[in-house]
Structure 1
Amino acid sequence: MNNYDSNSPAEVSFLSDSSALQEGLHFGGVGIWRWRIDSDQLQWTRNLESVHHLPHNSFDGSLASFQRDLHPADAERVWQQIKTSVETGTPYRAVYRTSPRAGVGELWIETSGGVTTDCSGIRYLTGVCLDVTDRIQNERKLERRLAQQRAVARFGSLALSHDDLQGVLDEAVKIAADVLDVPLSKVLQFADVADHLVLRAGLGWKGGLVGNCIVGIERSSQAGYTLLENKPITVDDLKIEQRFDGPQLLHDHGVRSGISVVIPGRKSRPFGVFGVHTRDVRLFDEADAEFLQSLAHIVAGAARHAEAADHRMLLVREMAHRAGNMLQLVNSIAGQTFVATADQNLARQTFSDRLSALARSNYVIARGGWTATPFAELVAETLKPFGHRVAAKGRSILLPPELCFDMGLVLHELATNSAKYGTLGRETGTVHITWSHETGADGTSMFKVDWQDPLKSNSISAKGTGFGSKLMSALIERKWNGTATIAQGATFQITMEVPLRIPA
């Protein structure tokens, strides 16, 4: 077997000016090959190997060497087209991938040509080869973008007409997996206590995980890192990822690559994280991340729509219930305030202050539709009159509206007590309030609040004789089955713990 650089008569008749043509073909990126149909003889130009990104002398002069460079998935189709051209004499055109090679990305070649016959009657199949990888990749990107746009439009229409949020989430993970061609997709939702995420919807995960699996929000997990960065995060290969380790959930499923984006939520609290993953190494691009983010925004809108619908139904029931409870509470506050021995002017002022605290607590909860409310918002609104004199710190925890309302009354009494007997009644000094969520060994979920006043207060005590003591006893201990512990020491410190019923 010889190539076109030789001087055999057959090749001279085929290429009259070998060197000039070789240079032109080299700079034009075109390779030419010719097969003598009645034999295994194959000839080619020198740059045919470079077009296929092969080292010099890779072809050994046989059809087999050329066939070996065809991708197994494309070989039968290409040779069927060539066979048809040989049998009918019609031109052929085929686009194929080369065989997978280590360290070489996907390579696409376009070949075309037809049958020729020389003066002696020998038939040849002649073809040209071009590297069309860039063109194919651009065409595929365009097709993928169009498919993504159609999917976003279709999903948006479905979400607007769907009343069931779980149905929307299930459809979201299916669309993401289908359009991005990934085996694993998931929607993680923030738990009310904001210390973990729950696998709310998913595709491709092991049985029993969807609805139950918990994922941490620490920076070492992909979801936690995504929440902290608040932007799309693309992982090329989890095995060599330096920004985070990834949760056990991903490692258990052999995840290598993926994308995760934040699903916006109400105000500053996200709904959760939307992610897709593959078990092989894949390079996702910016457009893929934008597509997933578009789906996440639609999910966020569906979540708000479902929440609003639930709020409307809840408010109708709650209005009647709250009206009676509020009147009973006001009557109880009045009975405790206007005692026979009290100074009437002071009693009226105290009663007015307590009603104001009642109104502020009700406002914080009512503006959200009497639903689960961030405790931090309640603290800020209730203690607003004391400004920077109160230092508040704690996780973004959602409390049931009834508990949040009662905690507002308790906070007001603590602040009032401090204004009379403690730090807030002085010109300087700061009161500290912190809160947290803890899970006991028995799985009990506990909401904990610590109030610390550097100056010892003597109004609220463990004896339970004052209004504040009675209020905490009635609300924290009897109503919510919690505890209120007052520390005995040089400072005033009270710790309140309330068990919560939080969905898994």
Structure 2
Amino acid sequence: MPDLEQMVKRQKALADFGDFALRNEDLDQILTEACRLVGDALGTDLAKVLEIEQNGQCLFMRAGIGWKPGLVGKLRLPMNERSSETYSIKAGKPVVTQDISKEDRFEFPDFLKEHGAVAIVNVPIFLPGGKPYGLLQVDSRKPREFGEEDIAFLRTYATILGPVIDRLHKSHSLKDALEANQHLLKELQHRVKNHISIITSLVRLRAKDVSSEEARRELTTVGERIEVLRLVNELLYVAGTTDLLRLRPYVMQLVESLCHLDEGQFGKVRLDFAIEEVDLGPEIAVPLGLILNEFVTNSLKYAFDGQGGVISVSIEVLEENGIRVRMSDNGKGLTAEPRPARPGSGTGMKLIEAFARQLDAKLDWSSSQGTALSLEFSRH
């Protein structure tokens, strides 16, 4: 019968192990600490956790203390009928051997004798739901009875181990599944990026081949709109996510690519950005990018008469998750009505209005020193 000091020591071992298990996600470290604490609490030099492997054909020494190098994490024991471990798992209860030299029920592996193990107690570890995980095994170098209090302590310890092992198994399975899904996502994004690039290249090639100037303008405009989609996918791919992309680099790359695409035709255009750091989902970034595409394209074609100028884009974060976007040029300005993206078509204006409705944003056009377009919307 353990004295009061030993009882307190065992209670402290259970508390210390519970605290350690809550703060750690490494199963091997947790099981090793379990062996150390239980060995210390019972005053034994040897302890180990054996894990059932290969459909119940063998036991793997997953963790342990007091053993020579090369055993823990490598040793496998067959689960035969003469094994005390096998008997304990099948019976579902602790099995005690006070002295292995006098035991005629079981056969014991040589490594136990080589380490001086004399008395052994096997305690099954069960996962939630009753599935056996393996054994907590404590070995003493001298004959020992392992009384009822010892067994009760070990059973309590094994009962705590089961849910801890189950939690970490599930956590690792979820982590593995997440990593696999992230790999598939990256592969899918890569393929989408390549497909969009192919479509863009085909549109540009076709634009060069057509004889009609109007058709060439139409195809070029379509290619620019596809480029918005490609850029969104590109930034999401680089970030390794499908949820959010950084607004500042997205807007800057988009506008810069439009202005530098054919600088000789429009004249030298200076860009002025004032964009706060904010992340947006693709469901907002795509329509916003298409609005910017239409506005900038419109400015390049009709604002500067080939003499160049300044295009400015400012984006600020408002209270209550609001976003205010203002784009402007210092060109000729609007006449009676906002000028269309292409003479006579009005398609660009219709697209801007449609994409603004997608964002649930109100458009505000102005023309004092050039043309400006402002819109506000919620990012959620």
Q: TM-score, normalised by structure 2?
A: 0.46
**Whose relative contact order is higher, 1 or 2, with alpha carbons under 8 Å and at least 6 apart?**
2
More helix per residue: 2
TM-score when normalising by structure 1: 0.35
